[in-house]
């Protein structure tokens, strides 16, 4: 009707114009600035993480369990050796049997100490092999701390040179487990033992890093520990042992090693994981077979 005022529209029934729906320009700019600031902070945090990993990666790789200087190892025929290295003294356990066929030089994994790794000598007695089990720097009663791969390999080489002359003419076996497999392969390529045994080995630490920490650049790693590259230079017998349920170091690493070294033998332990391979009967049986297959010797032993 003429003169009537239009009724006010009910709230929400009339659509707003496009100009009314568009947020003010200064709000868009604010969001962009906030996102940019977050990206910068995230990038800075990532760089800090990379710097920490680069300078403190020993904490991620090595898990030593120190022992008091007064600790005594209570195993029959096992003697503690002190091996001087550059800037430190390493502790090692040496099983000495009356007339052994030879020596097993044992390089253990990244955790624990010699007391954890040698709880029984029954296997070595049955095989009639002496044992030298080395604790790396910071492990057990060994002094110092690990600072580089070059230092670690030099320590292993020094320990070998301290014990090997006593077994000249007898059988020598280099055994590496987990972390110790790269060190064992490198030493074996240099000194050519009668047998090399790698248990739960990895092809390289860089490959492990890509599997477990894909966001970290492999170039950051100061401990490449290239087992496959060193194993390729081993021309003597090589035994690989790996559990097919190992999730820490998948069996694919041993398969790659076996492809790298065609004369290597790979023992697959069905159902074995990373830390329990030694509990499977096939493990002890295969190691015993490999040790007994080495020809006997009649040389006189000279203990250090």
* Tens-digit pLDDT profile for residues 200-210: 999 999 999 88
Nearest to 159 by CA among 270, 231, 84, 219: 84
Q: At a CB cut-off of 8 Å and minimum separation 6, what does 193 contact? A: 105, 172, 173, 174, 236
> Do residues 46 and 118 both lie within one domain?
no
Band (pLDDT 50/70/90 cuts) for residue 63 is very high
- Which residues face 52 on adjacent strands? none
- Between residues 29 and 165, the one the model is more confident about: 165
Residue 1 inside a domain? The answer is: no
* Tens-digit pLDDT profile for residues 13-42: 344 545 455 555 557 777 766 777 676 666
Q: What is the mean pLDDT of the chain?
A: 88
Q: Measured between alpha carbons, how far is 62 from 146 in angstroms, rounded to an integer?
A: 8
> Do residues 136 and 30 both lie within one domain?
no
State the average pLDDT over residues 161-181: 97
| Total tally of structural domains belonging to the chain | 2
- Between residues 5 and 303, the one the model is more confident about: 303
User: Residue 45 sits in which domain range?
Assistant: 23-56
pLDDT (0 to 100) of residue 209 = 87
> Do residues 87 and 37 both lie within one domain?
no
pLDDT (0 to 100) of residue 25 = 57
Whether the Cβ atoms of residue 118 and residue 93 lie closer than 8 Å to each other: yes
Question: Considering 14, 38, 56, which residue would you say is the last residue of a domain?
Answer: 56
Question: Considering 6, 34, 56, which residue would you say is the last residue of a domain?
Answer: 56
Residue 215: exposure state from Cβ atoms within 10 A (0-12, 13-18, ≥19): exposed
Angle at 58 between CA 69 and CA 164, to 5 degrees: 60
CATH code of 127's domain: 3.40.50.1820
Question: Considering 14, 32, 56, which residue would you say is the last residue of a domain?
Answer: 56
């Amino acid at each position: 009707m003429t003169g009537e005022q239009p009724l006010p529209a009910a709230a929400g029934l009339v659509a707003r114009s496009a100009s009314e729906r568009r947020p003010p320009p200064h709000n868009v700019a604010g969001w962009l600035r906030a996102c940019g600031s977050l990206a910068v902070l995230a990038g800075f945090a990532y760089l800090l993480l990379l710097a920490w990993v680069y300078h403190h990666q020993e904490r991620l790789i090595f898990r030593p369990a120190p022992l008091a200087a007064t600790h005594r190892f209570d195993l029959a025929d096992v003697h503690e050796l002190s091996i001087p290295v550059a800037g430190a003294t390493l502790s090692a356990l040496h099983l000495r049997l009356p007339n052994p066929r030879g020596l097993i030089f044992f390089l253990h994994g990244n955790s624990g100490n010699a007391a954890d790794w040698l709880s029984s000598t029954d296997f070595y007695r049955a095989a009639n092999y002496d044992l030298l089990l080395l604790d790396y720097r910071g492990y057990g009663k060994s002094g110092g701390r690990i600072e580089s791969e070059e230092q670690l390999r030099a320590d292993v080489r020094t320990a070998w040179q301290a014990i090997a002359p006593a077994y000249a003419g007898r059988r020598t076996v280099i055994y590496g487990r987990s972390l110790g497999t790269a060190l064992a392969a490198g030493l074996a390529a240099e000194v050519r033992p009668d047998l090399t045994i790698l248990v739960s080995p990895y092809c390289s630490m860089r490959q492990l890093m890509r599997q477990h920490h894909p966001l970290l650049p492999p170039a950051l790693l100061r401990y490449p520990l290239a087992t496959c590259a060193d194993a390729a230079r081993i021309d003597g017998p090589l035994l690989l042992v790996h559990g097919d349920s190992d999730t820490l170091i998948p069996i694919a690493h041993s398969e790659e090693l076996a492809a790298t070294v065609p004369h290597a033998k790979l023992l697959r332990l069905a159902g074995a994981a990373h830390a329990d391979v030694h509990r499977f009967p096939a493990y002890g049986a295969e190691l015993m077979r490999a040790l007994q297959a080495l020809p006997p010797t009649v040389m006189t032993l000279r203990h250090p």
